[in-house]
Structure 1
Amino acid sequence: MTEVPATVIVIDDDPAIREALGSLLRSVGFDVKLLASVNDFLKSGRPDGPTCLVLDVRLPGQSGLEFQRELSRENIRLPIVFITGHGDIPMSVQAMKGGAIEFLTKPFRDQDLLDAVHVGLARDRVWLENEKALATLYASYESLTPREREVMVLVVAGRLNKQIAADLGVSEITVKVHRSQVMQKMRAKSLPELARMADKLRQASEKPQDS
């Protein structure tokens, strides 16, 4: 299966800076999208593969920092490297507290930007891989029947087959059949692995869902 290429999205309202950054990033092999505003990004959407934003702090309309806060409120994870010609310490602190990869003041070294982008893309790859693994886990869980889900909950809680049978009012043989089906459908090789899967599902259900 072909890996989806990484993309760097540059959002800066200065055409000369956009083009210069685009040339730099393309020179090291990145796919690059150049945009003039946050609104342009919202219209085009993010690519499917690993993505990193190179975002100017001061933009027409919604500023870079305002956009970062909006992403945080919506629980959308997207690595951001801030660039600015008018940075100050409170602004940089706010950006970094908001989860920015880096806060670079123009003029900055090309290598500093490239290093920050590499970090951002690596972070996004991990996020995307985790999301894919969780989606696969959800699909496996959704394939369970209601009774199999009941058995799974009791199994990972440490209940024995005999106890589960009494809890559910079924025979111990029936519990063993359901338990075997749970292990097979969840692709769990052991009880500890099934317990870890259940814990991941529980943790994910307690988090706000990404928009």
Structure 2
Amino acid sequence: MPYYPGKQLSFARAAAEESVTSAVPVVFVVDDDISVRESLELLIRNAGWQPEIFSSAQAFLCRPRVLAPSCLILDVNLPDLSGLDLQKRLAADRLDMPIIFITGYGDVPMTVQAMKAGAVEFLTKPFADEVLLEAIRQALGRSGAALGEEAQVRMLQARYRSLTGREREVMKLVVRGRLNKVVGRELGISEITVKAHRGRVMRKMEAESLAELVNMGARLGLTSATVD
């Protein structure tokens, strides 16, 4: 059977995306008002998503990250940790989970602060169900895209780990634009040997072209000259 690396990459990429984006989306709710929690739980479930409800920020922080499209509906005013403080806590490790803020009384500075920190929406109670549902749809779309990208990077990292030490050295220099003869001089090997290593790198990384390999290198953080 003929070998088509570009097609294999496309199939693998699609599989990686599907593995994390085909799961039922999860919509988290953190609000200390039980009536709000119950009404949002019903609304979310009826829309076909999986709701997970929490009465405090600390309770939510104990929940491990989910590998499915997700978003967080977050009340600004909470008894233990404010919504804005929780947003800061989540900024580093849950980039794939967009936040929709809800509040009984918002102000412009608070809204600006939340949006600058990455919130997708800031809604003041009472709000129409469809307004919230549309915000959730957009947030889940962003989450799915982020998870798909993360899965693709993990796939590239696995391929990169399959390279030998010398092949990694060659790849780093090639994706930074070095010619074969320059790579050979820098590594103290012949140009023919560089070409052989480069060919194996292309096969193992499943890159169809140099441009595709450079793109892979960029996503792996190899194109910067400061990377060892």
Q: Same fold (TM over 0.5)?
A: yes
What corresponds to 1:137 in structure 2?
A: 156
Cα distance in 1 between the residues matched to 2:223 and 2:185: 30
Would you say how many aligned residue pairs link Structure 1 and Structure 2?
Answer: 205
What corresponds to 2:80 in structure 1?
A: 61
What corresponds to 2:208 in structure 1?
A: 189
1:116 and 1:204, CA in 2 relative to 1: closer, same or farther beyond 3 A?
farther
Following superposition, the deviation at residue 203 of structure 1 comes to 7.2
Q: Which has the higher contact order (CA 8 A, sep 6+)?
A: 2
Q: Of 159, 165, 184, which aligns to 1:165?
A: 184
Question: Is residue 103–residue 123 contact of structure 2 (8 Å, CA) maintained in 1?
Answer: yes
What corresponds to 1:178 in structure 2?
A: 197
Moved more, 86-95 or 33-42: 86-95
1:33 and 1:57, CA in 2 relative to 1: closer, same or farther beyond 3 A?
same
Cα distance in 2 between the residues matched to 1:185 and 1:192: 16
Unaligned ranges ≥5, structure 1: 206-211
Unaligned ranges ≥5, structure 2: 1-17
Following superposition, the deviation at residue 68 of structure 1 comes to 0.8
Q: Deviations over 1:151-180 (max 9, x none)?
A: 112323333334433333323332222111
Match status 1:7 vs 2:26: yes
DSSP-derived class of the 1:69 partner: helix
**What is the TM-score when the length of structure 1 is the normalising length?**
0.90
Identity %: 50
What corresponds to 2:219 in structure 1?
A: 200
DSSP-derived class of the 2:221 partner: helix
DSSP-derived class of the 2:100 partner: strand
Tell me the C-alpha RMSD between the 2 structures: 2.0
Moved more, 159-168 or 130-139: 159-168
**What is the TM-score when the length of structure 2 is the normalising length?**
0.83
